Structure 1
Amino acid sequence: MIEILNPAELARAREAGALVAGILQTLRSRSAVGTNLLDIDRWTKDMITEAGAQSCYVDYAPSFGRGPFGHHVCTSVNDAVLHGRPHDYALADGDLLSLDLAVSLGGIVADSAVSFVVGGSEPPESLALISATERALSAGIAAAGPGARTGDVSAAIGAVLGGAGYPVNTQFGGHGVGSTMHQDPHVSNTGRPGRGYPLRPGLLLALEPWVMADTADLVTDADGWTLRSATGCRTAHSEHTIAITDDGAEILTAPERARV
C-alpha cells in the first residue's frame, strides 16, 4: 500500500513528527551512564501516553520478528543495530546507543532514529559510524523530491555509506509511512539512480541509513528481535520521516520541530 496524504493529513503528520523528535531528544538527554534500557522504555511509554498518541511497536508482530514486540522504543547498544528490544541492561561509558521510535498521532505515523555515544568517552570508530549514517541521511533527503525516484534516494545514501568504507546491508531500509508504520515503497540503502517508484507530493518516507563497521551480515538474538552485526562490530542508525513537497522534501522529525 502507498498512501498520498492530503493537506489536512500532512498537518497531522507534522504534529506526529514533532512529537517523535521531542521524545527522542528527551530520551537522549536522560540516557547517561547507569541508565537502564527498561527505564528508557518506561519514559517513552509515559510521554506517548501523555501526548494522547499510540505506540507503533507494542503490538507490532511482523513475520521477521518473534512478536509482539511488547515495548515502546527500540534500544540497540553497540553491536546491536536494529529492533533492539529493551532489557535489563545499565548503560556504560562509551556505549553506542541507537534509539528508534515510531508513534501514531491523529491517525498518522512518524518514525525516526538517532545514534549517540553515552558518557564522556568519544571512541573514534563509533563517531565515524554515526557521522556516516547522518551524512547519508542528509544526502538521501537532498535527493528526494517530486520527479525523483526511490533509486535516486538509495543511490545517494549508498554513495555516502560505501564511500566511507562500510558494507551495506539491503535486507532492511527505508519505507513509506502514513496511517501505518511500514508501507511501500521500500527505499534500500544503496541502489541505482533513475529506477524505482516516482516520488510525488504528499508521500511520506522514513529514510534510515544504518551500517555495521566491518560486515553486512546480521544475526538475531534469542529474543527473536534484536539484530546484531555478525562479527560483533559496532553499528549506527539514523532516520527521519520526510514529506515530499512541490519543491523538495520537508523533514518532519527534525530536532528543531520537537515537542513533548
Structure 2
Amino acid sequence: MIEILTPTLLDRAKDTGALVADILRTLKGRSTVGTNLLDIDRWAKSLIVEAGALSCYVDYAPSFGRGPFGHYICTAVNDAVLHGRPHDRTLADGDLLTLDLAVSRGGVAADAAISFIVGDAKPGESVAMISATERALAAGIAAAGPGARVGDISHAIGTVLGEAGYAVNTEFGGHGIGSTMHQDPHVPNTGRPGRGYQLRPGLLLALEPWVMADTATLVTDADGWTLRSATGCRTAHSEHTIAITEDGAEVLTAPVGDA
C-alpha cells in the first residue's frame, strides 16, 4: 500500500515527527556510561505515553521477526545494527549505540534512528562510519522531490556509502510510512537512477542508510529480532522520515534547531 497524505494528515505527520525527534534527543542525553538498555526502553515508554502517542513496536510482529517485538524502542550496540531488542546490558565507554524509534499520534506514524558514541572515548572508525550514514541520508533527502524516482534516492545513498568504502546490504532499507509504520515503496540503500516509483507530493518516506564496517552479511540473534554483522564488526544507522512536497522534501524528524 502507498498512501498519499492530505494536508491535514501531513500536519499531523509533522507533529509526530517532531515528537520522535524530541524523544530521541532526550534518550540520547540520558544514554551514558552505566545506562542499562532496559532503562532506555522504560524511558521511551514513559515519554511516548505521556505524549498521548502509541508505540509502533510493542505489538509489531512481521514475518521476519519472532512474535511481537514487545518493546518501545530498538537499542542496537556495536555489532548490532537493526531491530535491536532491549535486554539487560549496561553501556560502556566507547560503545556505539543506535536508537531507532517509531511512534504514531493522530493516526500518522514517524520513524527515525540515530547512532552515536557513548561516553568520552571516540573510536575513529566508528565516528567515520556514523558520519558516512549521515552523509548518505543527506544525499538521499537531497535527491527526493516531486517527479523523482525511488531509484534516484537509492543511487544517491549508495554512492555515498560505496565511496566511503562500505558494502551495501539490500535486505533492509527505507520504506513508505503513513497510517502504519512500514508501507510501500521499499527504498533500497543502493540502486539505479531513474527507476522505480515516481514520488508525489504528500508521500512520506523513511530513509535509513545503515552499514557494517567490513561485511554486508547479517546474522540474527537467538531473540529472533536483533540483527548483527556476521563478522562482529561495528555498525551504524541513520534515519529520517521525510515528506515529499511541491518544492522538494521536508525532514519531519529533525530536532528543533537542526537543518
* TM bucket, shorter chain: over 0.9
**Which residue pairs with 1:196 in the alignment?**
196
Code of the residue aligned with 1:71 in structure 2: it is: H
TM-score normalised by length of structure 2 = 0.99
Partner of 2:106: 106
Separation in 2, partners of 1:72, 1:215? 29
Taking a change above 3 Å as real, the CA distance of residues 248 and 181 of structure 1, as seen in their structure-2 partners, is: same
Instruction: Judge conservation of contact 1:152–1:191 (CA < 8 Å) in 2.
Output: yes
Report the CA distance between 1:257 and its aligned residue. Answer: 6.8
2:236 aligned with 1:236: yes
CA distance in 1, matches of 2:220, 2:57: 18
What's the Cα RMSD here?
Answer: 0.8
Q: Which position in structure 1 is the counterpart of 2:165? A: 165
Task: Find the aligned partners of 2:32 and 2:65 in 1 and give their Cα distance.
Answer: 29
Counterpart of 2:246? Answer: 246
2:84 alignment partner in structure 1: 84
Residues 241 and 252, structure 1, Cα contact 8 Å, conserved in 2: yes
Determine whether 1:94 maps to 2:94: yes
Separation in 2, partners of 1:49, 1:63: 27
Letter aligned with residue 3 of structure 2: E
Residue 136 (structure 1) shift: 0.1
Aligned residues: 258
Letter in 2 for 1:55: S
Aligned residue for 1:112, secondary structure, equals strand
Aligned to 1:10: 10
CA shift for structure 1 position 156: 0.1
1:28 corresponds in structure 2 to: 28
Report the Cα distance in structure 1 between the residues aligned to 2:188 and 2:226, rounded to whole angstroms: 20
CA distance in 2, matches of 1:161, 1:255: 24
Question: 3-state SS of the aligned residue for 1:98?
Answer: strand
Structure 1 counterpart SS, 2:202: coil
- Could you tell me which runs of 5 or more consecutive residues in structure 1 were left unpaired when the two chains were aligned: none
1:151 aligns with 2:113: no
Whether contact under 8 Å (1:207, 1:239) holds in the other structure is yes
* Structure 2 Cα separation of the partners of residues 255 and 115 of structure 1: 14
Separation in 2 of the partners of 1:17 and 1:232?
33
Counterpart of 1:76 in 2: which secondary structure?
strand
Contact 1:41/1:72 (8 A) holds in 2: yes
CA distance, structure 2, for counterparts of residue 55 and residue 191 of structure 1? 31
Determine the C-alpha separation between the residues in 2 that align with 1:30 and 1:51: 18
Q: How far apart are residue 110 of structure 1 and its match?
A: 0.2
Query: What whole-Å deviation, never above 9, does each CA across 1:56-111 have from its counterpart, x for those lacking one?
Result: 00000000000200000000000000000000000000000000000000000000
After TM superposition, the runs of 4+ consecutive aligned structure 1 residues lying more than 3 A away are none
Determine the structure 1 residue equivalent to 2:226.
226
2-side partners of 1:230 and 1:128: how far apart? Answer: 20
Q: What's 1:38 paired with?
A: 38
**Matched residue, 1:62:** 62
Instruction: Give the distance between the partners of 1:208 and 1:51, measured in 2 at CA.
Output: 25
On the 8 A contact 1:16/1:108 being kept in 2, the answer is yes
Identity, in percent, stands at: 80
Residue 75 of structure 1 corresponds to: 75
Q: In the alignment, is the contact (CA less than 8 A) between 1:18 and 1:257 conserved in 2?
A: no
Q: Does 1:127 align with 2:105?
A: no
Provide the C-alpha distance between the structure 2 equivalents of 1:125 and 1:256, rounded to a whole number of angstroms. Answer: 28
TM-score, length of structure 1 as denominator length: 0.99
CA distance in 2, matches of 1:245, 1:143: 13
